[in-house]
Structure 1
Amino acid sequence: MNRNVFITLLIVFNIAIDQISKVIVRNNMVQGARGQIDVIEDYFQLIWVENKGAFLGMGSDMNPTLRLIFLLILPTAVLIYVIYYIVKTKELDRLSVIAFCCIIGGGIANVFDRIVFGEVTDFFFIKITDSIKTGIFNVADLSVTTGMIMLLFSGVLNKKEGKSA
């Protein structure tokens, strides 16, 4: 498969699964703790919230101009640059390309929400213990996080391969 087609399909796939999951949540759940669904007791729950900020609601209390700059314009510029980078940098290994596509797809999906809805739909919550738990997040956040972990893993693998060569 052509490399650029692969990149495009992977980004579109990440955006699609995020947006489909958000449509399902918006159409089938009640917002807030009242509509909470316990998937695995209180360890894995679905709780629909709308987030005006970034990660864990950070920036939700910023004035509208700063929110526009830091949560819409800046992320969009970074996403455009990363797309340009992965298309132009042909020597990236496959794992890094996939990781960047996950990051880009998740980023675009959340920026899309901010443009269309003015906020981002979040709904996953994981609690391992009372002190070890996540904030409420979505599929796009999961894509970005997975992509970052894959990039770290790819960096470690490439560093090991460089030492052995």
Structure 2
Amino acid sequence: MATAKSVSSHNMSKLIKQTGLRWLWLAALVFCLDIGIKLVVMDNMGYGWANRIEVLPFFNLLYVHNLGAAFSFLSDQEGWQRWLFSGIAFAVTAMLLFWMRKLPATERWNNIAYALVIGGALGNVFDRIVHGFVVDYLDFFWGDYHWPAFNLADSAICIGAVMIVIDGFRSKKEQPES
């Protein structure tokens, strides 16, 4: 007779292998790469635009802080936004984990999209909680116009979000009623 603990771990393993939770490795990869790159940037680059590294005629590496959200939204506030954005990220992560648990592991498109958003959101939440700001290091520009600096986590969130929107326009195969 199996113990409750072995049955529970067997069921958990089965749940992870058969559902979208199997794709959480991608969220962990995005999170680890994002945090790793940010630590390298913080340890090896001077802060601010004056210390940027010119890589291409339209791209620099730099080290800046973002106290707000995308495009420095609410960065001029007194600090409450740090906790608001962290709470939103945790809520979105919980919702996406719930959806991933409902999806089969074979539903690659949505599971990849959800994993990218989760990994990116948690990467930026880590920064907010540990440092009080998000570390940005990618600077794309055209002439004198600079796109707001961003990071790998932001890129993963955007790619995942675009995938979710595209999925809304994809035709779904009719599923038989069960």
TM-score range, shorter chain: 0.7 to 0.9
Which residue of structure 2 lines up, in the alignment, with residue 33 of structure 1?
49
Question: Identity of aligned pairs, percent?
Answer: 28
Q: CA deviation at 1:30?
A: 0.7
How far apart, in 1, do the equivalents of 2:91 and 2:160 lie? 18
Aligned 8 A contact 2:82 2:133 in 1: no
User: Take 1:18 and 1:91, find their aligned partners in 2: how far apart are those partners?
Assistant: 25
Could you tell me how far apart the structure 1 residues matched to 2:43 and 2:70 are?
Answer: 23
1:110 to 98, 116, 124: 124
Aligned partner of 1:158 in structure 2 is 171
Note if 1:134 corresponds to 2:150.
no
TM-score, normalised via structure 2 length: 0.79
Q: What amino acid is the match of 1:143?
A: A
Deviations along 1:4-40, whole A, 9 cap, x unmatched?
Answer: 5632211101101111110111111111112111110
Shift in CA distance, 119/68, structure 1 to aligned 2, threshold 3 Å: closer
Q: What secondary structure is seen at the aligned counterpart in 2 of 1:39?
A: strand
Per the alignment, residue 12 of structure 2 pairs with none
* Deviation at residue 157 of structure 1 after TM alignment: 2.5
- Whether 2:160 is the aligned partner of 1:147: answer yes
- How far apart are the structure 1 equivalents of 2:114 and 2:60? 28
Where does residue 54 of structure 1 map in the other structure?
Answer: 69
TM-score between both structures, scaled by the size of structure 1: 0.85
Of 98, 103, 110, the match for 1:84: 98
Q: 8 Å contact 1:95–1:150 — kept in the other structure?
A: yes
1:51 touches 1:57 (CA, 8 Å); kept in 2?
Answer: yes
Deviations 1:79-111 (A, max 9, x none): 112112211233883111101110111001001
Asked if the contact 2:23/2:105 (under 8 Å) is kept, the reply is no
Answer with 1 or 2: which has the greater Rg: 2
Aligned residues: 158
Closer, same or farther in 2 for the Cα pair 1:68/1:25, shift >3 Å?
Answer: closer
SS of corresponding position for 1:38: strand
1:24 and 2:37 are equivalent in the alignment: no
Instruction: Report the aligned-residue RMSD.
Output: 2.2
SS at 1:150 equivalent: helix
Please state how far the C-alpha of 1:118 moved relative to its aligned partner. Answer: 0.6
Letter in 1 for 2:27: I
